[in-house]
Structure 1
Amino acid sequence: MAAVRREWLLLFLLTVVAVAAVAAGLSWYVVAGAWLILVAIVAARRPVVVSVPEPDETEEDEFSRDPLPGIAATLSALDIPVLLLNAEAVVRWENKAAERALGLLPIGSHLSARLRSPGILDMVNETIATGEPNQIEHSERLPSERVYLLRIAPIEPVDAGEELFLLSFRDISELRRLDRMRSDFVANASHELRTPLASLRGFIETMQGPARSDDAAKERFLGIMLDQATRMSRLVDDLLSLSRLELKSHIAPDQSVDLRPVIGHVRDALLPLAEELGVEIRLYLPDEKVEVLGDRDELVEVVENLIENACKYGQEGKFVDVFLRNEPSQPVEVSVVDRGPGIPAEHVPRLTERFYRVSVADSRSKKGTGLGLAIVKHILTRHRARLIVKSELGKGSEFTVRF
């Protein structure tokens, strides 16, 4: 402050001298120029002081001792729900994925405020007590059924910070659903194969024993055995077909296929079956080509399955109508309409499930495997197409493929 006062005093004296010189008759321009030069010299000699704020040692030390900000910044990028708990199972932090899945948990609240499962709380308490990682499966039914694999593990303390534990939630709902589907599929396939195999074995044992010399019985039994073997062959073919479709379900076909000859080919191939059932297949096709991107053999299988089902299950109506529509600015559609007994509404959503049958006895009597519409669904999924089913009891059913 003393240096500042001296500079101001010197500038004041220079100004007084300049005024006196002008009063004495010196040139005003010369005096002003000299005054400015002297002022510049004084200013140049003044030291420049840069003020640097002292670091807040208290705040820095507190941050370095608390590992939470650094850990949270790292875990916030995870797309699975994550909670940080302290040694009292109190929530210290949660990421955005946890907020979406579990709802907002107030920081400082106990874990039991949101998760009241005794199994989860026991697992967390055990890890807090022993320091050993643990995991458990947990199911939630609301707002939708989900299955989570919960895992808790301690986090190494950083810079003598508080002891923290990482609780993560991995959604395994889809894996469990696929496991159930696989188990159901194996059980159904085993059941479907067991019945004809048991039938074949019984007839073979009968022909080797009591009916050894009965030619009429042998002839009848051989016919039944042929039917059972044919049924198993169809089932195996359908299972192999499903497996092939699953392997390439992600690859969309890129060939151009005209649907008119495809439908005509299927109608000609099914004429003997239709005549046997007393059904007439009528086609309503446009005159021009109707082309879609697809695999011709797979599209033949789709149309064949739909028309064959219409003939078998709608034979009471005597007619099966097939429409091919190609309206401007509208998707291409193939509709198969029968006038049979119709399908109850509660069964319609499940028709494309593997081995699902509206009537097991009716399906087996018509030599169905329960896989036809499942194959149709897989083929259409690969073709980026949809199957739309409309049915009314007593009036028949309409199956529409929309490309």
Structure 2
Amino acid sequence: IEGVIAVDARDAILFMNERARTIFGLGAARGERKPFLEVIRNVDLHAIFHESRAAGEGTVSRHELRLASPVERRLQVNAVPLRLAADELGVVMVLHDVTELRRLEQVRTEFVANVSHELRTPLTAVHGYLETLLAGALEERENARRFLEIVFRHTERLGRLLDDLTDLSNIELGRVSLKLAPTRLDEVAESVLAIIRPKAESGRVTLGSQLPSDLPPVPADRDRLAQIFINLVDNAVKYTPEGGRVTVSARPVAGGRVEVTVADTGIGIPPADLPRITERFYRVDRARSRELGGTGLGLAIVKHLVLAHGGELWIESEPGRGTTVRFTLPSSGPTA
């Protein structure tokens, strides 16, 4: 519902609807028959009344204003003159709150810019190496193989990026149908640890687990649950230096839920970055993330999948000490 305000020729308020009072935080206060600036102290809005009268009847004055208080908003304002009497010209103003629309436009702009950047980086490298090969390096067997291996790694990264983008898009649009069935967390977690263990060992990172066999099963899509574990454990291993440790644990908690924890002794995340860490393409260290093969979408996918399962996600971290990711899932009842 739009806010509506009508004033007379002296800018005294004739009418103000409930939505307009809400926009300006007026509560139940009535503004009728009072001067506009006495009720709403906004000179930019007041100036539109004068502009509208000067433009003449039948003309719509259009503006977009930013309100700083009582709540920051973006308002689209349309004003038209209103003939009240032969010698009196008032104004009717319609206010449309476009705050969320502008926020979504900004998100879209940032998303397109991020995708373009993420695609351009490997494509530039692929183009450069292929150009070098075509210029004669193809005849140098040792260099040619090394260059082709680099090109191959970049194309793999492009494939991961496109897969993650497709996954995230489908999850956000509700196109992913979860095949829920009673699932043993310990079995899924151990299968994921077996996949990632060689990578952890090559980086001299200890991978451990504390997964009781009597954990109650959870109603989950086994493949999507594995995807959550893979993203979290893989991230933890990537950002844990040699000699560090990554531990996966789980336990029943109040409310008939199970809490899963993935804790590492890695480099940690600065407090300023924590609130945005699950945003698409948000990275604390972009260069290092790309070097390690990250797409910047893993935690965003994890967040959406956990929420889709009816769970919640928390991330705690301390630079130089490590990161702990916790998520909860509803349980199906006691273990069979």
Normalising to structure 1: TM-score of the pair? Answer: 0.73
Offset at 1:192? Answer: 1.0
The residue aligned with 1:87 is 9
Which residue of 15, 35, 47 corresponds with 1:110? 35
The residue aligned with 2:51 is 126
The residue aligned with 1:395 is 321
Relative to structure 1, is the Cα distance of residues 271 and 349 closer, same or farther in structure 2, using a 3 angstrom cutoff? same
The residue aligned with 2:79 is 152
Q: Does 2:213 align with 1:291?
A: no
Offset at 1:96? Answer: 2.5
Offset at 1:355? Answer: 1.2
Normalising to structure 2: TM-score of the pair? Answer: 0.87
Relative to structure 1, is the Cα distance of residues 108 and 157 closer, same or farther in structure 2, using a 3 angstrom cutoff? closer
| Cα-to-partner distance string for 1:162-219 (whole Å, 9 max, x where unaligned) | 8654322221111111111111011011011111111111111111114242222211
Q: Does 2:136 align with 1:219?
A: no
Relative to structure 1, is the Cα distance of residues 299 and 216 closer, same or farther in structure 2, using a 3 angstrom cutoff? same
SS of 1:278's partner is coil
Relative to structure 1, is the Cα distance of residues 322 and 216 closer, same or farther in structure 2, using a 3 angstrom cutoff? same
Which residue of 166, 169, 173 corresponds with 2:99? 173
SS of 1:321's partner is strand
CA contact (8 A) 2:259 2:327 kept: yes
Relative to structure 1, is the Cα distance of residues 156 and 291 closer, same or farther in structure 2, using a 3 angstrom cutoff? farther
The residue aligned with 1:141 is 68
Moved more, 162-171 or 366-375: 162-171
Offset at 1:156? Answer: 7.9
CA contact (8 A) 1:316 1:341 kept: no
Offset at 1:390? Answer: 1.2
Which amino acid in structure 2 is aligned with residue 125 of structure 1?
A: H
Q: Which runs of 5+ in 1 are unaligned?
A: 1-78
The residue aligned with 2:227 is 301
SS of 1:316's partner is coil
Q: Which runs of 5+ in 2 are unaligned?
A: 330-336
Question: How many angstroms apart in 1 are the aligned matches of 2:80 and 2:181?
Answer: 53
Question: How many angstroms apart in 2 are the aligned matches of 1:308 and 1:251?
Answer: 25
Q: How many residues align?
A: 323
**4+ residue runs over 4 A deviation:** 154-158, 249-255
Relative to structure 1, is the Cα distance of residues 232 and 178 closer, same or farther in structure 2, using a 3 angstrom cutoff? same
Relative to structure 1, is the Cα distance of residues 392 and 375 closer, same or farther in structure 2, using a 3 angstrom cutoff? same
Relative to structure 1, is the Cα distance of residues 328 and 401 closer, same or farther in structure 2, using a 3 angstrom cutoff? closer
Offset at 1:239? Answer: 0.8
CA contact (8 A) 1:341 1:393 kept: yes
Q: Percent identity?
A: 35
Higher radius of gyration, 1 or 2: 1
Which amino acid in structure 2 is aligned with residue 98 of structure 1?
A: A
CA contact (8 A) 1:146 1:173 kept: yes
Which residue of 244, 247, 263 corresponds with 1:318? 244
Which amino acid in structure 1 is aligned with residue 42 of structure 2?
A: R
Query: 1 or 2, which has the higher helix percentage?
Result: 1
| Cα-to-partner distance string for 1:303-331 (whole Å, 9 max, x where unaligned) | 11111111111243532111111135453
CA contact (8 A) 1:279 1:311 kept: yes
CA contact (8 A) 1:260 1:290 kept: no
Q: Does 2:262 align with 1:336?
A: yes
Which amino acid in structure 2 is aligned with residue 97 of structure 1?
A: R
CA contact (8 A) 2:215 2:251 kept: no
Q: CA RMSD in A?
A: 2.6
Question: Map of 1:257-272 to 2, 5 A cutoff?
Answer: 257-272=183-198
| Cα-to-partner distance string for 1:89-145 (whole Å, 9 max, x where unaligned) | 321122233223212464333334425344x44433233341222321111123432
Relative to structure 1, is the Cα distance of residues 318 and 248 closer, same or farther in structure 2, using a 3 angstrom cutoff? same
Larger RCO (CA under 8 A, 6+ residues apart): 2
CA contact (8 A) 1:200 1:225 kept: yes
Moved more, 368-377 or 91-100: 91-100
Query: 1 or 2, which has the higher strand percentage?
Result: 2
Question: How many angstroms apart in 1 are the aligned matches of 2:317 and 2:74?
Answer: 35
SS of 1:345's partner is coil
The residue aligned with 1:352 is 278
CA contact (8 A) 2:178 2:221 kept: no
Question: How many angstroms apart in 2 are the aligned matches of 1:109 and 1:117?
Answer: 16
Which amino acid in structure 2 is aligned with residue 291 of structure 1?
A: P
Relative to structure 1, is the Cα distance of residues 336 and 138 closer, same or farther in structure 2, using a 3 angstrom cutoff? same
Which amino acid in structure 2 is aligned with residue 135 of structure 1?
A: R
